[in-house]
Chain A
Amino acid sequence: MEHRSRFKARGLEVVFLLPTMLILILFLYYPAWQSIILSLFRSNLFLGTRKFIGFENFRNLFSGALAPAYYQSLLQTLIFSVMVIVPGLLISLVLANLSISLGKRGKIYQILLIWPYALSPAVAGTIFSFLFNPEVGAVNTLLGAFSNLQPRWLDNPILAFLLVVTACIWKNLGYNYVFYLAALQNVPRNVYEAADIDGAGVVRSFFKITVPLVGPVTYFLIFTNLSYSFFEAFALIDLLTLGGPMGFLPFDNTGVTTLLIYKIFQDGFGGSSNMGFASAQSVLLMGIIGLITWFQFKFADKNVHYGGE
């Protein structure tokens, strides 16, 4: 990097970097710090009251009446992430691989599969809430035309959870597909021809050639998808289920689709407006994300080879 630095800086570095740095400090680092401070206060959004209470907000997360709901939300978020990421990545890799294997004639499929990249979680949520509305929803109307089956999609905890997972996978398909497509475009096709001649089947060459070749991209996508399912799923939940419905034992302390980010919103900006308690949750979430990031960097050095340079 150093050998490229040729231009005299003459203070330009300050002019060029200051706006970016200022915005990052004011709107990312300082709010992060403020979240930590607020987590030590009892603070109400609407009353504007603030009282220093030490670590009580954190204690309330892990013991006492409010703790089970938090544990449940934490567990649900993890289950949700796995259920979104694994099938989501697998489907988009298969589709990218298939459309690449057709060569130039597969171009039309690329366009037909990239567009969901422009899809927003709110649009996905809106359409799904129409499709699966139990009374007037399109799916039940169609089912009613030739059967008596009228599932209450959003009231049944298992169906509601699966519905949010499905909407989430659908929404993110375009993003994953684009990255896999870009990665596979650089793979010489003769690798596959050689495998074909050696008698390796389609499934075998998929797992033995394609999957290892896109390893670095998969690695990258796991973490972006993790962040996606932790945060962006919010809009889906807010439009589809509002965090509900209540689950079966032991998932009966809060709604089954109350993921961590939705719980922060509910506790901080919803009915109780307990900003301090929501802050404590944000701080823990930062800790979780920090841990994942640390893990990512540590693990990446050993196991993933980023080509070139």
Chain B
Amino acid sequence: MLNKKKRIVVNIILIIACLIIAFPILFAFIKATQTPGQVMSPRILPSGYLFENIKFVWTRYNLWGYMLNSFKISLSIMLGKTFLSFFAAFALVFLDFKAKKPVFIFILITLMMPTEMLIVGLFDIISLPSPTSFKDFFSWFIHPSNIFLSPVKFGFGWTDNLLSVIVPFFASATGVFLFRQHFRNIPTSLIDASIIDGAGSFRFIYYVLLPLSRNTIGALFVVQFIYAWNQYLWPRIIIRNSSAQVIQVGLKAIIGNAEGVEWGQVMAGTIISMIPPLIMLFLFQDQFMKGIAVSDDK
């Protein structure tokens, strides 16, 4: 253990570091409580104007609409990703089939393919109108050169539709990887016992695997929710209608919207937008830390 003198020094350094790191947020919060006049002054004491500021962005600048869209998207992605990657990893670890390795590599490679890099190609696939009749689609689809050698002709027609920001993110290499890692650490004896008891895959999943996977699931919930909540570039491009926009891009709209930005209101919106991911983080903090600790010695 550290001696007393060192302990004090460490504490002082950490307190200063915490203050510096928290400063921009504290400052934003204080300014969110001030009247427009006070915001422009050097005053750094909180004031009583917070609810007026919130009320303004909430209704006039559609903050609530943005938040609601982000909620729908983030919860869908969080649940969908966790669900799909749980079963994919189950197949990769506990089921016997050929082509296991190529499938795993196929999934793993996508770790290095962030959507941001693919926006140009993805844009057409998502935004072009879908074929009007099956015959149209079939006569296009039947020629491989249409699919592989020329720009795509049909898409999903999802511009301004929340599906465009949800469905492409349902699959997750991170999730498959984390679950696979965790499943491989489960003692063989447990699997043997289940098989002797005559349990099939689903009973094994329900009675053994799920209870054992709480930490990994919790960690993934945090990671995926925050990832989805914080998305920016893709919704910025694919969603043009502000009623379908997400909160992160909404912040830019709020800044640009006002004639002469009211920064107190913008800061109020910013602070509000941080609350859901923070709640997720602290709700699942224990599972998150444990889940991460397993994952890093890949």
Contact = CB atoms under 8 A, between A and B. Distances in A.
B151 A34 contact: yes
B136 interface: no
Contacts of B93: 1, 4-5
Interface string B140-158: 0000000011111000000
Contacts of A289: 112-113, 117
A278 B89 CA distance: 35
B184 A4 contact: yes
Interface residues of A, number: 110
Interface string B10-27: 110110011001101101
Contact of B42 (A37, A145, A173): A145
A99 interface: yes
Interface in B104-121: 106-107, 110, 112-121
Interface residues of B, number: 105
B119 A116 contact: no
Contacts of B116: 231-232, 234, 261
Given A12-B95, A31-B121, A142-B42, A112 B84 contact: no
A33 B17 contact: no
A170 interface: yes
B79 interface: no
A178 B96 contact: no
A59 interface: no
Contact of A129 (B107, B110, B120, B255): B255
Given A142-B42, A182-B292, A19 B117 contact: no
A16 B123 CA distance: 28
Contacts of A123: 248, 251, 270, 273-274
Interface stretch (A60-68, A248-256, A262-270): A262-270
Contacts of A103: 1
Contacts of A299: none
Interface string B36-51: 0000111010000000
Nearest to B40: A136
A127 B28 contact: yes
B229 interface: yes
B87 interface: yes
A290 to B, nearest CB: 7
B167 A27 contact: yes
Interface in B221-242: 226, 229-230, 232-233, 236-237
Contacts of A47: none
Interface string B230-266: 1011001100000000001101100100000101001
A235 B167 CA distance: 22
B230 A120 contact: yes
B281 A117 contact: yes
B297 interface: yes
A83 interface: no
Interface in B156-191: 167-173, 176, 184, 188, 191
B130 interface: no
B33 to A, nearest CB: 14
Contacts of B118: 28, 31-32, 35, 282
Interface in A79-137: 95, 98-99, 101-103, 106, 109, 111-124, 126-131, 133, 136
Contacts of B119: 264-265, 268-269, 282
A38 to B, nearest CB: 6
A21 B120 contact: no
Contacts of B277: 118, 120
A264 B255 CA distance: 24
Nearest to A282: B120
Nearest to A306: B297
B60 interface: no
A122 B121 contact: no
Contacts of A126: 251-252, 255, 266, 270
A38 B124 CA distance: 10
A307 B229 CA distance: 34
A131 B25 CA distance: 11
B158 to A, nearest CB: 11
Contacts of B40: 136, 141
B258 to A, nearest CB: 12
B232 A138 contact: no
A13 to B, nearest CB: 4
A119 B90 CA distance: 32
B125 A115 contact: no
Nearest to B90: A16
B121 A38 contact: yes
B193 to A, nearest CB: 11
Q: Which 3 A-B pairs have the closest CB atoms?
A: A31-B121, A34-B121, A120-B230
Given A182-B296, A282-B119, 17 more contacts: A5-B95, A9-B95, A13-B91, A17-B92, A28-B118, A31-B121, A43-B151, A98-B13, A102-B10, A113-B21, A126-B252, A179-B292, A193-B1, A239-B255, A278-B120, A289-B113, A292-B112
23 contacts: A1-B100, A3-B188, A9-B91, A17-B88, A19-B88, A20-B176, A27-B167, A33-B148, A38-B120, A38-B151, A95-B14, A114-B281, A118-B278, A122-B249, A133-B263, A141-B40, A179-B292, A227-B114, A231-B114, A234-B232, A238-B236, A261-B233, A282-B120
